[in-house]
C-alpha cells in the first residue's frame, strides 16, 4: 500500500506509573504529529501515586484510564488494550522517543508479516543496541547472566548470545524473525492477542512479553524485528534496582513453571551463586570493596523467594 494510502490502524497504548511528565511529553508529541496510521493514544495509569491527568474537554485522540490498584506491567497494558478498537496496538514505554512518521514506517514494514508481533530496532541514547530480538529463555541463558564475574565480557557478542540476546537482529539490515521481542516498543495484532487472553497478569514485572509471545507462537504468530526503524529508549526506571531484580527473579521462576524446568533453574542459579561467592571472596581478600557473604545471602534469598512463589 503506498504511504499516502495508509489508513489509521494503530492505537498507541502507553502504560504509566510515576512522574507524569515523560508520559505527557510523549503524548503531546504524538498527538501533534500522529502520522497517518495512528488512530489515537491510550494512557493506562497503574494506580500511580500522582494520577495522570484526564484530557481537557474537547481534546481529540487521547483516552486516559486509571486502574483501581497497582497490578504491574501486564495488567496495566491489558487495561489499556481493552480500549483499543483498531487492528493493531503499539505498546510504548513512556521513555521511548518515537514519532508518528516512525510508527507509519513500522506499520508498513510489518505489513507482510501480519499477524505478527513487531519491534523496531530499540537502541540506547548512545545508539548501542538494547537487543530487541531475543531467544526463548533457557536455564543456560539465565545461569550465564547470573554469573557476575562474566560481566566484564558484556561487550562481546558471544556473551550476548549466551544470555539469550539474538545478535543477528541487532546486526541485520532487513527484518528478522526472532523468538520474541522486548516490550518497550511492541506492535501487537489485536485479534490474536485477544484470542490468547492478553498478558498473563500473574507476572508483576518482566517476562510477561515473552510469555505472551510464547503463547502466540503456538498459534503460528511470529515475532519480527524491523532494523530500518530505530527508536531510542531511555531506560529511566521508576523503581529501585533491588526491587527490580526481585521482580526479575520472581518472573523467571514463574515463566519456568509454565514453560520450563523450575527445579533445574533453582539448582543452576544456586550453583552460580556459589561461583559468585568464591570469586567475590578472592576479590575481598585483595582489598575490593565487596562483602562476599552478604552478596551470597542476598542472591540465595532471591532464589528461595522466587522458588516459593
Inform me whether the pLDDT recorded for 56 exceeds 60: yes
Mean pLDDT within 57-61: 87
Inform me whether the pLDDT recorded for 237 exceeds 60: no
- Percent with pLDDT over 90 in the chain: 88
Instruction: Dump pLDDT digits (tens) for 108-143.
Output: 999 999 999 999 999 999 999 999 999 999 999 999
pLDDT at position 255: 96
pLDDT at position 309: 62
Inform me whether the pLDDT recorded for 1 exceeds 50: no
| 3 — pLDDT class (breaks 50, 70, 90) | very low
pLDDT at position 240: 62
Mean pLDDT within 179-192: 97
Mean pLDDT within 14-36: 94
pLDDT at position 4: 45
CB-hemisphere CA count at 13 Å for 157? Answer: 6
| 6 — pLDDT class (breaks 50, 70, 90) | low
Domains in the chain: boundaries: 3-137+166-233
pLDDT at position 235: 59
Mean pLDDT within 170-193: 96
pTM for this structure? 0.91
The CATH code belonging to domain 3-137+166-233 is 3.90.550.10
Supply the mean pLDDT for the chain.
93
Mean pLDDT within 204-222: 96
Amino acid at each position: 500500500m503506498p504511504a499516502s494510502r495508509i489508513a489509521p490502524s494503530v492505537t498507541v497504548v502507553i502504560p504509566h506509573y510515576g512522574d507524569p511528565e515523560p508520559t505527557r511529553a510523549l503524548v503531546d508529541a504524538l498527538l501533534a504529529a500522529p502520522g497517518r496510521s495512528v488512530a489515537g493514544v491510550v494512557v493506562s495509569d497503574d494506580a500511580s501515586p500522582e494520577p495522570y491527568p484526564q484530557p481537557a474537554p474537547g481534546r481529540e485522540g487521547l483516552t486516559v484510564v486509571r486502574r483501581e490498584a497497582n497490578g504491574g506491567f501486564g495488567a496495566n497494558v491489558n487495561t489499556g488494550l481493552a480500549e483499543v478498537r483498531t487492528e493493531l496496538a503499539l505498546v510504548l514505554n513512556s521513555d521511548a522517543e518515537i514519532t508518528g512518521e516512525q510508527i507509519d514506517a513500522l506499520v508498513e514494514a510489518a505489513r507482510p508479516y501480519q499477524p505478527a508481533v513487531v519491534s523496531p530496532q530499540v537502541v540506547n541514547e548512545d545508539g548501542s543496541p538494547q537487543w530487541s530480538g531475543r531467544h526463548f529463555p533457557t536455564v543456560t541463558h539465565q545461569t550465564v547472566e547470573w554469573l557476575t564475574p562474566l560481566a566484564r565480557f558484556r561487550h562481546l557478542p558471544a556473551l550476548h548470545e549466551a544470555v539469550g540476546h539474538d545478535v543477528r537482529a541487532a546486526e541485520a539490515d532487513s527484518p528478522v524473525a526472532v523468538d520474541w521481542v522486548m516490550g518497550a516498543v511492541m506492535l501487537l495484532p489485536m485479534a490474536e492477542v485477544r484470542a490468547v487472553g492478553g498478558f498473563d497478569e500473574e507476572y508483576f514485572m518482566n517476562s510477561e512479553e515473552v510469555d505472551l509471545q510464547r503463547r502466540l507462537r503456538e498459534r503460528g504468530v511470529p515475532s519480527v524485528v524491523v532494523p530500518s526503524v530505530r527508536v531510542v529508549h531511555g531506560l529511566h526506571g521508576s523503581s529501585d534496582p533491588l526491587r527490580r531484580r526481585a521482580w526479575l527473579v520472581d518472573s523467571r521462576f514463574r515463566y519456568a513453571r509454565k514453560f520450563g524446568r523450575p527445579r533445574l533453574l533453582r539448582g543452576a542459579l544456586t550453583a552460580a551463586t556459589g561461583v559468585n561467592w568464591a570469586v567475590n571472596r578472592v576479590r575481598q581478600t585483595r582489598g575490593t570493596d565487596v562483602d562476599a557473604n552478604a552478596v551470597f545471602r542476598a542472591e540465595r534469598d532471591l532464589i528461595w523467594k522466587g522458588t516459593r512463589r
